[in-house]
């Protein structure tokens, strides 16, 4: 079946600058695709590559859309380069309806701001009912952040757990200090302690994962489908942070993860509501061993029309289904 293809670019300022170990991030750029079949049925997708995750750019995605010449079928989709995983996801999801969900609702992790601001934010998240928390670390000096960890844990109710995301911002010695400190504390996992491009990173991550009782999670090490497959083949025992928005071949890759019994954290790529509908649809349909969703990110944009469902301790599939892609397409000229 051949579809008529259109695309529209968006540029959206974040409500507040996203601070990560990669540096400040102020403007979300991406593009929407719209496919129309001969019978008039319409589907939408979002390509939202993340700076620091591979080489895919919005410019490359747009050039590829133009090269497709306003039409798409299964054969031309299969020829879109694997390196453009976000665009492949956008096009594939515009071709297909949301998969059937296996759950009515899923737990969500609360995202805490980096640094001392986490201590101010945590009580309101606790009050809202969250029990899984995520704190961005490797943003300030390690000594300061290590000193804050127990203060932060002290604010959380019994039975809570916390995820620490270093975004690849530590060296091996600092990572070892954190793994020592996290032992015996309610730390669910430490995410991406070492940079993907650090010399010997794979061996070092495998070593740390075996040497400490605290689990590790891979995020930046998993740019796309090929990375996930490689780490499964390496026998990675930690968590996999899966951003469906970046998985061009999500069905195949997630099938491999469930077959491997992997623990998966479905996470936002800070996409808009249009892409989030797809990403969350994939998460709700996945049969494997999942943990709280990493989708506690909204409100995210100055223009609130582009937000996904507001962060809450549980996300209902009904709220995902209700997101209307045509509204965002029409709002983006």
- Is-contact 107 313, C-beta < 8 A? yes
Site map 185..214 versus Mg ion, x via CB under 5 A: ------x-----------------------
Choices 29-37, 44-52, 102-110, 218-226; region in contact with Mg ion by CB under 5 A: 218-226
Find the catalytic residue in 71, 199, 243, 321.
243
Sign, CA dihedral 7-13-15-16, equals positive
227 in contact with Mg ion (CB under 5 A): no
Choices 71-79, 130-138, 184-192, 324-332; region in contact with Mg ion by CB under 5 A: 184-192
The residue among 99 and 113 lying less far from Mg ion, judged by its C-beta, is 113
User: Rounded to whole angstroms, what are the CA distances from 42 to 31, 45, 184, 248?
Assistant: 17, 11, 52, 20
219 in contact with Mg ion (CB under 5 A): yes
The residue among 191 and 249 lying less far from Mg ion, judged by its C-beta, is 191
Choices 133-141, 157-165, 225-233, 311-319; region in contact with Mg ion by CB under 5 A: 157-165
Tokens representing residue 131 in the block: 């029990």
Query: Rounded to an integer, what distance in angstroms lies between the CA atom of residue 196 and that of residue 193?
Result: 9
The residue among 64 and 268 lying less far from Mg ion, judged by its C-beta, is 268
Find the catalytic residue in 71, 136, 237, 321.
136
Q: DSSP class of residue 98? A: P
The residue among 169 and 308 lying less far from Mg ion, judged by its C-beta, is 169
165 in contact with Mg ion (CB under 5 A): yes
Tell me whether residue 237 is one of the annotated catalytic residues: no
What are the two backbone dihedrals, phi and then psi, of residue 294, each rounded to the nearest 5 degrees?
-95, 55
Tell me whether residue 104 is one of the annotated catalytic residues: no
DSSP string, 265-327: EEB--S--HHHHHHHHHHHHH--SEE-SBB-TT-S-BSSGGG--SPP-SEEEHHHHHT--HHH
Sign, CA dihedral 250-6-269-267, equals negative
Burial of 224 (0-12, 13-18, 19+ CB in 10 A): buried
At closest approach, how far in Å is the CB of 64 from Mg ion?
A: 26
271 in contact with Mg ion (CB under 5 A): no
Task: Give the number of residues in contact with Mg ion, rule: CB under 5 A.
Answer: 3
User: Rounded to whole angstroms, what are the CA distances from 133 to 22, 24, 119?
Assistant: 21, 22, 12
Tokens representing residue 62 in the block: 């747009």
The residue among 52 and 99 lying less far from Mg ion, judged by its C-beta, is 52
At closest approach, how far in Å is the CB of 241 from Mg ion?
A: 6
61 in contact with Mg ion (CB under 5 A): no
Residues annotated as catalytic (active site), given as ranges: 136, 243
Contacts with Mg ion by CB under 5 A lie at 165, 191, 219
């Amino acid at each position: 079946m051949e579809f008529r293809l259109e695309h529209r670019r968006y540029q959206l300022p974040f409500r507040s600058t996203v601070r990560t170990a990669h540096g400040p991030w102020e403007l979300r750029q991406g593009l929407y695709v719209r496919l129309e079949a001969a019978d008039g049925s319409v589907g939408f997708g979002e390509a939202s590559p993340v700076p620091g995750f591979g080489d895919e750019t919005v410019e490359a995605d747009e050039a590829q859309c133009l090269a497709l010449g306003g039409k798409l079928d299964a054969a031309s989709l299969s020829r879109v380069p694997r390196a453009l995983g976000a665009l492949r996801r956008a096009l594939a999801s515009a071709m297909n309806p949301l998969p059937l969900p296996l759950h009515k609702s899923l737990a969500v992790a609360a995202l805490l701001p980096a640094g001392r601001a986490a201590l101010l934010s945590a009580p309101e998240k606790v009050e809202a009912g969250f029990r899984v928390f995520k704190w961005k670390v490797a943003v300030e000096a390690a000594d300061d952040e290590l000193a804050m960890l127990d203060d932060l844990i002290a604010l959380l109710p019994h039975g809570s757990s916390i995820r620490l995301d270093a975004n690849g911002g530590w060296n091996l010695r600092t990572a070892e200090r954190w793994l020592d400190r996290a032992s015996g504390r309610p730390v669910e996992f430490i995410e991406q302690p070492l940079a993907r491009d650090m010399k010997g990173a794979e061996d070092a991550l495998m070593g740390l994962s075996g040497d400490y009782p605290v689990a590790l999670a891979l995020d930046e090490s998993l740019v796309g489908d090929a990375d996930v497959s490689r780490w499964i083949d390496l026998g990675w025992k930690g968590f996999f942070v899966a951003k469906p928005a970046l998985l061009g071949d999500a069905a195949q890759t997630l099938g491999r993860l469930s077959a491997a019994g992997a623990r998966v954290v479905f996470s936002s790529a800070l996409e808009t509501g249009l892409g989030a509908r797809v990403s969350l649809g994939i998460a709700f349909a996945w049969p494997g061993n999942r943990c709280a969703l990493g989708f506690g990110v909204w409100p995210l944009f100055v223009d609130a029309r582009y937000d996904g469902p507001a962060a809450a301790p549980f996300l209902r599939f009904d709220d995902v289904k209700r997101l209307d892609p045509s509204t965002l397409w029409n709002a983006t000229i």
